[in-house]
Structure 1
């Protein structure tokens, strides 16, 4: 529930409760005051009737009245009670109804005038309702005015909320609001300071790895050339181990660069129809020398419709999944790639006959630089520990689903499910 709604409910509840109590109190007082006025009017009628002598019944058509002289009824609209003993007001039941009676007595003569309490009560309610209805309308108008005032008062807060809500996760530009309210101004200032500090930290964290990796590429290339020349002269185990270490370092640098490039704001405007089948074929062609060297049985089965995506991010995801399968599948093993269309989604599954991953370690392998067994991986194959972290990162950009399970051949099966239609990438 919003602050505006809570504030409106609180103010309107207090107003309604206050007016309700005021109406109850006013209603009770109005009834008492009307009772007094009606009694006074009824007593005046009795006194006027006493001093006016004989009056024809038709002159008081809505009033029940009687006149007594020395205990006998001498005139009246009806016979309904005995001669009262003294002047005053009383209430009694007569002729099947409740009556309010005013009596005026003097010199053994009495006049009694009565009227039904029900008629008096109905008239009182009409008078009171004539006063209450405008108050109810006023209450509705007051509630509307309160709503308008609260909305205008909270407008700066709503504007701040909308500006923050419409921002992308990587947008750290300062807020442009210039509020005059003393409550909102420090909030905007504090948020701008926080945005500035967050942007600096974000940029340091984001570009450090990619910048460092980029700077390492040149000396690594020079090292590879020099090592190649050295290996031509000294073809021994030490030189070969040094070459493998440099290759591993070079692979790590390339993975770090790939991870740095797979961010949503870089590829947001490059979405278009992408064929997963073609991307898989291109990846297989690129990895074919490794596949042929290990004599792997690799197959691509199934087809699916194009999805909305970006070429580089999808290629990096597919290459890391397939290259992992190729890398860890032993010679003569099997790698099966399957594509499946599921209405609004497509599924990519890569299964291998490699050693697989224990169930209790499947969550951890998404951590960056984590490898099963560390540097002493059971396969004795060098790696950076970034492949599946990059896959998970790309799947997150597409708000897809990533699952690991055992393959039918005892190895690992990686399954990625992506939506076919997408207008934007998720902010990373």
Structure 2
């Protein structure tokens, strides 16, 4: 369910869904409109053909009674039938004639002059219409032949009505001007319809505008992500305002830049306060410590209470000095979480150098230290912070290891990270306490593990905070065979 909710809220999923809708909906609408248009066009073509049939039926009685004396009666009737915009041609082939070219143009509406008559007849021959008429007159084809899709001078032939008489074969040819018929009726696809093309253009413009809004917002978020990564890497002269391309997000970008600037100022002020506080506290502590020496010489050895008081003052000064140093390191660690260090550090060389010093220190406690540091591993972070991590881990391991025990420190590359691992064979930590040992002021030292020395329970807390400040992480687990194993993963340097 959480993953489903994440997908529902995904910007990319919504953008893809909108693009799919914009692609599918017009196809569905087009198919429906094309079906309706096809049915409408078929009805209109049928109507045009019925009009042609009626025109032929109206002229057939005159053609039956045709003679040179009443020939002038045909033209008025043809013109009257063609007043609705229909084109009519009355053709005649004498009984003794055969072939398609023997037809004569007797009457037409609109009226065709002598100069246009011959080209009109030639077009009918070339289109094959007269060949069909000749076959109909000779009884080898239906007397009524519908030929849709044959164009004649900007007209669509819709009906042919042959009629045989004793004098010859008469043909009433009706056609509709292509400008009065839908595009599909005259043989053009529906998608070439001007109305549909205008609607498609408007829809496409709307789709482009809507998708551009989403893509611009998404692209701007990706640019903000890149700027944020640059800020984390500490690159100079990066700004959310400069990376913004959407005017409506200008105020958001400005606020993000202000927030980054505030964090950097806070980091600087925190470091400065840590330095100043430490200096302000250490100065009087140093004066007190220096003043104890002449006081110790001035106090008589038999004055037990005075000697005891001076010892307590000395111990308290040492404790305060350690506490000030710890607080300073804590403040610097917190500041590092705000402004992540991004130097390129030779981790292999640093840990080898540090390990050699700890080998001698461990030997003084009768503890062995095994080194397994891979060569040539560089990390992105801070050499000082890495050194603090290693020191705290080694100090803990030595403190908890029994005499004759062994600890190990390994560094290797794993899963694209530099993995530092310190293992001891001490008493270990219960599984339920593995996370808690990284909290502040948590210490499980007893007297056998250096409990007589003042500890503030900040070592592993600083280890994890330093690791996170450098873009890594730290965790603990039980060591095989007993003991504790603490691992720190740090990003590799470019």
For normalisation by structure 1, the TM-score amounts to: 0.66
Residue 301 of structure 1 corresponds to which residue in structure 2?
Answer: 372
Shift of 1:242: 1.4
Residue 315 of structure 1 corresponds to which residue in structure 2?
Answer: 387
Residue 61 of structure 1 corresponds to which residue in structure 2?
Answer: 131
User: In the aligned structure 2, how far is the partner of 1:131 from the partner of 1:336?
Assistant: 80
Change in Cα spacing, 1:377 to 1:192, as seen in structure 2 (3 Å) is farther
Structure 1 residue 215 corresponds to structure 2 residue 285: no
Residue 24 of structure 1 corresponds to which residue in structure 2?
Answer: 35
Counterpart of 1:259 (choices 326, 333, 336) is 333
Residue 281 of structure 1 corresponds to which residue in structure 2?
Answer: 352
Structure 1 residue 227 corresponds to structure 2 residue 322: no
Are 2:379 and 2:490, in contact at CA under 8 Å, matched by a contact in 1? no
Residue 465 of structure 2 corresponds to which residue in structure 1?
Answer: 393
User: In the aligned structure 2, how far is the partner of 1:323 from the partner of 1:239?
Assistant: 27
Cα distance per residue 1:42-78 (max 9 Å; x no partner): 4545665672586667545335987xxxxxxxx7524
Structure 1 residue 127 corresponds to structure 2 residue 201: no
Question: SS of the counterpart of 1:356?
Answer: coil
Change in Cα spacing, 1:354 to 1:266, as seen in structure 2 (3 Å) is same
Cα distance per residue 1:94-144 (max 9 Å; x no partner): xxxxxx9979999xxxx999xxxxxxxxxx967353453456776776565
User: In the aligned structure 2, how far is the partner of 1:178 from the partner of 1:281?
Assistant: 46
Shift of 1:258: 4.3
User: In the aligned structure 2, how far is the partner of 1:333 from the partner of 1:5?
Assistant: 61
Residue 52 of structure 2 corresponds to which residue in structure 1?
Answer: 41
Question: SS of the counterpart of 1:338?
Answer: strand
Higher relative contact order (CA 8 A, sep 6+): 1
Cα distance per residue 1:257-312 (max 9 Å; x no partner): 541464585632x325x142x32233245556753553322232353332243423
Cα distance per residue 1:170-223 (max 9 Å; x no partner): 589673589996xx2xx533553466467547754x456544432232222541
Greater shift, 32-41 or 407-416, is seen at 407-416
User: In the aligned structure 2, how far is the partner of 1:207 from the partner of 1:324?
Assistant: 31
Question: SS of the counterpart of 1:313?
Answer: helix
* Unaligned 5+ runs, structure 2: 1-10, 64-91, 101-129, 147-158, 173-182, 233-237, 297-305
Count of aligned residue pairs for this structure pair = 378
Task: Compare the two structures and name the one with the higher helix fraction.
Answer: 2
Residue 120 of structure 1 corresponds to which residue in structure 2?
Answer: none
Structure 1 residue 242 corresponds to structure 2 residue 316: yes
Larger Rg: 2
Greater shift, 225-234 or 405-414, is seen at 225-234
Change in Cα spacing, 1:5 to 1:411, as seen in structure 2 (3 Å) is closer
Shift of 1:249: 0.2
User: In the aligned structure 1, how far is the partner of 2:326 from the partner of 2:224?
Assistant: 37
Greater shift, 146-155 or 402-411, is seen at 146-155
User: In the aligned structure 2, how far is the partner of 1:160 from the partner of 1:344?
Assistant: 29
Pairwise mapping of residues 64-83 of structure 1 onto structure 2 (< 5 A)? 76-78=138-140
User: In the aligned structure 1, how far is the partner of 2:185 from the partner of 2:142?
Assistant: 29
Question: SS of the counterpart of 2:227?
Answer: coil
Greater shift, 330-339 or 312-321, is seen at 330-339
Change in Cα spacing, 1:290 to 1:229, as seen in structure 2 (3 Å) is farther
* Unaligned 5+ runs, structure 1: 67-74, 82-87, 91-99, 114-123, 424-428
Are 1:351 and 1:414, in contact at CA under 8 Å, matched by a contact in 2? yes
Shift of 1:412: 1.0
> RMSD between aligned alpha carbons?
4.9
